[in-house]
C-alpha cells in the first residue's frame, strides 16, 4: 500500500465504470479502480462483464482496499439508477464518478452502419450522461463532488484512423463536461476530462491480433512498432498514466480545476504528424 501522504482520497467513495479489463493486463478502468483504492477511496466498480470486475475486486481487496462490484449496462437509465442506489446503500455516499466505459469502431459516414454509429454514441456519450445525471443531485446535496470522464485525443484531433463515430462521441463528452462544469461550479461539483492518446492496454492487444493477418501483411510487432513511432516520446503510454491523471483531477489537489482536460498522450497532440 502507498505511504499515508499518497492517500489523497481517504474516506471518499468513487464509482468507476468499466472497471475491468478486456483481457490479461491493465486496462484504464482496472488501473483507475486500483489506483483510487490505493489512495484510500472505497471503490464501487461497475462492469458489464462480472468476471472482469471480479478480477479488479480481487486485486483491490488483496491490498486491503474496499471494493463493491456492480454489474450492469450503463447505457440503460434504470440500470444506472439501480447501481448508484446500490452504491449509496452499501458505501453511504458518492464523492467521485469516473466515466470510463468506451467503444471504438472504425468507419466513415459513407460506410458506417447506423447501428455502429448508435452504439458508439450510447457507450461513449450516453453512458456518461446517465451516470452524471444520477450522481449530480447527490453531489449537490453534499456540496461537493468530482466527475472525471475518460475521453480521447480523438475528440480534439484526427488521430490517423477513420473513426468518425468514436471521435464525435468523445468530442461530445468533452463539451458535455465543460458545459456541466460551468453550470455546477458554484454548487461544489467539478467536471474534467482525461484525454488518453495511444495507451498500451489489453484492448490494443486485441486490435493487434485483428490486424495481424496474411490479408493485411501486418504482424503484431509491426502494429505495435507503428503505434510507438507515432508518439513523440517514442512509446505508447500505460493504463496507470491515465489513472494517475484521473486521481489528480478527482482529488483536492485539483480543487480549483474544473471544465478542462488533461492530455495523456506523450506529446501526440503537439505534433503535426499522424
Task: Name the residues annotated as catalytic.
Answer: 166
* Residue carrying the nine cell digits 466498480: 45
Nearest to 193 by CA among 99, 96, 84, 129: 99
Nearest to 243 by CA among 60, 93, 64: 60
Across 32-50, b (16+ Cβ under 10 Å) vs e yields bbbbbbbbbbbbbbbbbee
DSSP state of 104: -
C-alpha span between 236 and 163 (Å, rounded): 19
Q: Measuring CA to CA, how many Å separate 172 from each of 76, 92, 125, 168, 227?
A: 19, 31, 7, 6, 25
C-alpha span between 180 and 20 (Å, rounded): 27
Can you name the residues that pair with 238 across neighbouring β-strands?
200
Q: How far, in whole angstroms, is CA 262 from its chain's centroid?
A: 13
Amino acid at each position: 500500500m502507498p505511504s499515508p501522504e499518497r492517500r489523497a482520497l481517504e474516506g471518499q467513495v468513487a464509482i468507476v465504470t468499466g472497471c475491468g479489463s478486456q483481457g490479461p493486463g491493465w486496462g484504464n478502468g482496472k488501473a483507475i479502480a486500483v489506483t483510487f483504492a490505493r489512495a484510500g477511496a472505497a471503490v464501487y466498480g461497475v462492469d458489464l462483464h462480472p468476471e472482469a470486475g471480479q478480477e479488479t475486486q480481487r486485486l483491490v481487496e488483496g491490498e486491503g482496499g474496499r471494493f463493491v462490484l456492480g454489474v450492469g449496462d450503463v447505457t440503460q437509465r434504470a440500470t444506472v439508477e439501480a447501481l448508484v442506489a446500490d452504491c449509496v446503500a452499501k458505501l453511504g455516499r458518492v464523492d467521485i464518478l469516473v466515466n470510463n466505459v468506451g467503444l471504438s469502431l472504425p468507419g466513415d459516414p459513407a460506410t458506417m452502419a447506423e447501428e455502429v454509429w448508435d452504439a458508439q454514441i450510447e457507450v461513449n456519450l450516453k453512458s456518461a450522461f446517465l451516470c452524471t445525471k444520477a450522481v449530480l443531485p447527490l453531489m449537490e446535496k453534499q456540496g461537493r463532488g468530482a466527475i472525471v470522464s475518460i475521453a480521447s485525443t480523438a475528440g480534439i484531433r484526427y488521430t490517423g484512423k477513420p473513426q468518425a463515430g468514436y471521435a464525435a462521441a468523445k468530442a461530445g463528452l468533452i463539451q458535455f463536461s465543460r458545459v456541466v462544469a460551468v453550470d455546477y461550479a458554484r454548487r461544489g461539483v467539478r467536471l474534467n476530462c482525461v484525454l488518453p492518446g495511444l495507451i498500451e492496454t489489453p484492448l490494443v492487444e486485441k486490435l493487434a491480433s485483428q490486424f495481424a493477418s496474411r490479408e493485411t501483411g501486418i504482424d503484431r510487432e509491426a502494429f505495435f512498432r507503428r503505434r510507438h513511432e507515432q508518439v513523440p516520446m517514442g512509446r505508447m503510454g500505460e493504463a496507470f498514466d491515465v489513472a494517475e491523471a484521473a486521481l489528480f483531477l478527482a482529488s483536492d489537489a485539483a480543487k480549483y480545476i474544473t471544465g478542462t482536460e488533461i492530455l495523456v498522450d506523450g506529446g501526440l497532440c503537439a505534433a503535426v504528424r499522424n
